[in-house]
Amino acid sequence: MSVCDLSIRPVSAVAWASNTSTCPGHFTLIGQTEDGASANFSRGFVKSGYFLCYSKDLSGAMVVADVQVITDKETIPHGYCYIPEYLEQKASVGKKKRVCVRIVPVGSVTTAVLDLKLTTKHKSMVQQYTCLGDMNGFVVWCLKGPFSPPAPQAKPRRVSLDIRSLSLEGPAPPQPLKPSNLPEAPPKISRRRSKLDLPAGGVCDSSVCSISAMDGVPFTLHPKFESRSSSTKVSGITLSDIRIKSVQDIENEYNYTFTVEELAAKRIRPSLSG
């Protein structure tokens, strides 16, 4: 079986509805039994009743794996839930017997509820259907069977222009430029930082403007130090002229008591020595 056929799609939800106006759009209301009687579960002179309805909409990726009819004295089985109610304001569903379902993801099972039918009590049986029990004078039947879950659709892969060029059928016609097949950026041309070659128009591009202002400036010694160096290497004699000061020498040379600032802060006029 395949879920592509609507008649053998698994049931995805079961509910109560007062009539076709309160029944959700993707649900099918069971208005009559298999023997032609009205399928209204409400008895007596009640204006608004309630009907059983089901859905085969698989957009939620859930299916009904099982349906049970239990009494109010029974505990609801583990993993089951009571079906929702889409009723009019003053309508209500009887609680002596209730319908509960087990809903599971569509990909987790291969057997589910495929259909629901109703018959009047003590009437003929429905072939290939399982009897779930009687409620308010009706007998609830369900058809369970295997189904094929919808196969996931593979997303189309984008073929680059480089792969198309490998085809043996000859070159393909040029493709329109799209964000997925834009031409590759041209390779960056490296420039020597020692040469500052600006365009003739005076407008520089991003690669030229990134050059430092010190590019192209030759490194030379100050004339003061040219006489001390007889070669390209600094001799040991030149280095001997440099005096290394100790911490005490530096403190003695740059010692400052801040006396003037202290007197100014105290607003005391300094005394003049004669």
Reduced to 3 states (helix: H, G, I; strand: E, B; else coil), residue 35 is coil
What digits encode the pLDDT tens for the residues 10-53?
Answer: 999 999 999 999 999 999 999 999 988 899 998 765 667 899 99
* Coil, helix or strand at residue 68: strand
Give the integer Cα–Cα distance in Å for 28 and 31: 9
Backbone angles phi, psi at 186, to 5 degrees: -65, 145
Helices and strands counted in the chain (H then E): 6, 10
Please state the rounded mean pLDDT for residues 112-122: 90
Tell me what the mean pLDDT of segment 54-77 comes to.
94
Bridge partners of residue 15, in order along the sequence: 53
Distance in angstroms (rounded) separating the CA atoms of residues 228 and 58: 93
Candidates 1.10.15.40, 2.100.10.50, 1.20.120.450, 1.10.510.10; CATH matching 6-146? 2.100.10.50
3-state secondary structure of 184: coil
Degrees, nearest 5: CA angle 39-44-48? 65
pTM, whole model, 2 decimals? 0.53
Best CA proximity match to 211, nearest among 196, 201, 226, 222:
196
Share of the chain above pLDDT 70, in %: 64
Collect all residues with Cβ–Cβ distance below 8 Å to 143 and sequence separation of at least 6. Answer: 113, 114, 115, 116, 117, 128, 129, 130
Contact 40, 52 (CB under 8 A): no
Over residues 105-134, mean pLDDT: 88
Residue 138 Cα to chain centre, angstroms: 47
Vertex 171, ends 166 and 175: CA angle to 5°?
100
d(CA 70, CA 96): 9
Amino acid at 45: F
| Tally of CB atoms within 10 A around 147 | 21
pLDDT at 257 over 50: yes
